[in-house]
Amino acid sequence: MDTLTAITARTSDPTAQVPTALVPAARVPVAQPWADLARRALDLVAASLALLLLAVPMIVIGLIVRRTSTGPALFRQRRVGLGGREFTLYKFRTMHTGVGDDALRALIAAELRGEDTMVGGSHKLDRDPRITAIGAFLRRTSLDELPQLLNIVRGDMTLVGPRPCLGWEAEMFPADFGLRFSVRPGLTGLWQVSGRSTMSTLDMLHLDVAYVRGRRLGGDLSILLRTVPAMLRDGGAR
């Protein structure tokens, strides 16, 4: 895999990149073309099949979101993917429209400084007023992330990988964690099956780098098998 280059300033170009660290070539794992092809084939088959099987439940969820709060059912947001390039991520809307993210920015900044932000065993925002009633359920069960199957089919994401972060998050991340941008972000990953909301942002970043350095197709399959049990016992995403 080629060394990631320093990322240019963000522009209006949809393929624009956001600032991340320069990743030394010596730290990037050796590419395995056969594994990448197998991973992409698994992505296409599994995501396409899941979209077909879950089409009706997803329509029902969309209708419930529309009926229970003002705003669209589908939430679109720019996220940072492979090589620091931005893409449009799809989720079911779980928040009220027109709300800000100042509290989340402050929380992540505090965690990156090494501060303890845990409340009630969770690093999520405590009693986040932005989240709708149905949104809380969707987040707790991770059903809000089902539309990301479209991102997987499009090639923006993969089944297993680091969490797709926001542009301002990428700018805040220390340079030591730039390796996380050398692979596509995933629908699930090592962070999700290792505690998710019980882990801080720094914990997540360390897991991302550990995943990339030890990335193997067999490991991805293991994470996929651990994902559903992890969802059932965890308290939901941020």
Task: Tell whether the model's pLDDT for residue 159 goes beyond 50.
Answer: yes
Q: Who contacts 108 (Cβ-Cβ below 8 Å, separation ≥6)?
A: 169, 172, 201
Per-residue exposure over 63-77, b if at least 16 CB sit within 10 Å of its own CB, e if not: eebeeebeeebebee
3-state secondary structure of 88: strand
pLDDT of residue 237: 52
Instruction: Say how far apart CA 215 and CA 194 lie, in whole Å.
Output: 16
**29 — pLDDT class (breaks 50, 70, 90):** low
How, if at all, do strands 74-80 and 86-92 pair? antiparallel
CB atoms within 10 A of CB 206: 17
pLDDT digits (tens, 9 = 90+) for 32-62: 788 889 999 999 999 999 999 999 999 999 9
Residue with structure tokens 């009693």?
127
Share of residues in the chain with pLDDT > 70 (%): 82
pLDDT of residue 10: 37
pLDDT of residue 11: 33
pLDDT of residue 234: 56
Overall average pLDDT of the 69-90 stretch: 96
Instruction: Say how far apart CA 89 and CA 87 lie, in whole Å.
Output: 6
Overall average pLDDT of the 175-190 stretch: 95
Average pLDDT, the chain: 84
